[in-house]
Structure 1
Amino acid sequence: MASDVVLELVDIEAGYGKAALVLRGLSIQVRRQEVVCLVGPNGAGKSTVLKVASGMLRPRSGQVVLNGTDVTGQGPQQLLRGGLSHVLQGHSVFKEMTVEENIRLGGFSLPDQSVMAERIEFVQSVFPVVAQRWTDTAGLLSGGQQKQVEFGRAMIVQPDVVLLDEPSMGLDPKRTATIFEEVDRMRQNGVAVLIVEQNARRALEMADIGCVLDLGRVFATGPAADLLADPKLSDLYLGGRPSA
């Protein structure tokens, strides 16, 4: 495996309980400082890919490789310590806690307070809302601001790769644009990002690599700009070409 590949899923077959497979021989690579966007119809298996990658769902076969190490079967806490953070779908802030408490909770695995202080300073510099609302109760923040707190909580452990599941869900266009700006800031800070996003066209405009899933398999993958320019893929998976 190439040294710049941070996360790799190899020939993954996965499903829930005794039900039929959701992922069927799926393979995906995410390289350092790269945004890979998963798109496809409902039921294609996009969120299942993230659950397998983060250790929430053990694959029936195949490998999950993180920073060159086979981590198949390891749980979310082990993968977090190995450099992988997962921001779940919807809002997962603890609304009764302050922004500070939410961020510190994300750093529970950091070795000491000096490292915590250093990482807090970094997170506040990347996500200004975190600094501005530091002492406020998280539940008082807007949806977009809460999502930035979630991003900050994921970034405090200095991950190599962050998984994002529908980060713009429930947000208006202005706040959605802000969220994509923050994803780009993650990339600029050296983090690889694997994202599932309902606004597929907008996400591909921001991503480096697009990966189209259909029926649990990779239907097409390549530079995101090429996928956007392909009229067949646009009609099938992106809701048609945008009007002039």
Structure 2
Amino acid sequence: MASDVILELRDVEAGYGKAALVLRGLSVSVPRGTVVCLVGPNGAGKSTVLKVASGLLKPRAGAILLGGEDVTGRGPQALLREGLSHVLQGHSVFPEMTVEENVMLGGYTVRDQSSLAERAEFVRSVFPVVAEKWSTVAGLLSGGQQKQVEFARALMVTPDVVLLDEPSMGLDPKRTTTVFEQVARMRDAGVAVLLVEQNARRALEMADIGCVLDLGRVFATGPARELLADPKLSDLYLGGRPATA
């Protein structure tokens, strides 16, 4: 149902400067309370989708709808106020500040102090590591723990949808698993997630919906488990089928 869709990119064309288009008529829908994972080869346009969705890059054609409202052309700050958070690629914590200070920066637009305190308690409950390390200097945390701080900060504004760009980048397998578990926690808290991830197979195992991009277009989309089970897609885009015992 259309009313279940919180974020929609409709027939979007986008590129950088005067260069050729990166996205060529791309359409993606993110239902409420789901994880939608974008996968595909390098250069397919995955991160560009997130930049367009968050207002960092204005599309040349097409529309972006948030909660059914056309928000095409609005900037990141306006979209943040309207319920969309974007966690960028790489680490963005302030290493000399405490976890508490980093997280509370996410609520800088919240004026009501009681609401701010309630939100801080909520993100502490969603991410136990954040609560445990609340007074710790963020630079002392592992990469996976820092990523959870970024997630918590993004949830301080009560977003309806969070965009995640390569959250497992630079992490070892154990910490990658932890990060994906935290993405699932966000979904369980009622937040929709649009995720870009190079670790395609692992991400699709956790996601609800998969969307395979190629050359700026949607090549295939559907339930994530079905995409994983498709041998053609597996060979072309997921690094081949996993070995069996």
TM over 0.5: yes
Deviation at 1:129, TM superposition (A): 1.2
User: Which residue number in structure 1 is paired with residue 176 of structure 2?
Assistant: 176
User: Which residue number in structure 2 is paired with residue 9 of structure 1?
Assistant: 9
Q: Which amino acid aligns with 1:76?
A: P
Q: Secondary structure at the match of 2:86?
A: strand
Cα separation, 2, equivalents of 1:206 and 1:132: 25
Aligned pairs for 1:221-236 (under 5 A) are 221-236=221-236
Cα separation, 2, equivalents of 1:72 and 1:96: 37
Q: Which amino acid aligns with 2:30?
A: V
Counting aligned pairs with the same residue, the percent is 80
If the length of structure 2 is used for normalisation, what is the TM-score?
0.98
- In the alignment, is residue 194 of structure 1 matched against residue 214 of structure 2? no
- Name stretches of at least 5 consecutive residues in structure 1 with no aligned partner: none
Aligned pairs for 1:31-180 (under 5 A) are 31-180=31-180
- Name stretches of at least 5 consecutive residues in structure 2 with no aligned partner: none
Cα separation, 2, equivalents of 1:191 and 1:78: 19
Instruction: State the aligned residue count.
Output: 244
Q: Which amino acid aligns with 2:204?
A: L
Cα separation, 1, equivalents of 2:82 and 2:236: 37
Greater shift in the superposed pair: 73-82 or 1-10: 1-10
Cα separation, 2, equivalents of 1:32 and 1:196: 17
Cα separation, 2, equivalents of 1:183 and 1:226: 20
Regions of 4+ moved over 6 Å:
none
Cα separation, 2, equivalents of 1:178 and 1:110: 29
Deviation at 1:97, TM superposition (A): 1.1
If the length of structure 1 is used for normalisation, what is the TM-score?
0.99
Cα separation, 2, equivalents of 1:20 and 1:44: 13
Q: Secondary structure at the match of 1:13?
A: strand
Greater shift in the superposed pair: 1-10 or 39-48: 1-10
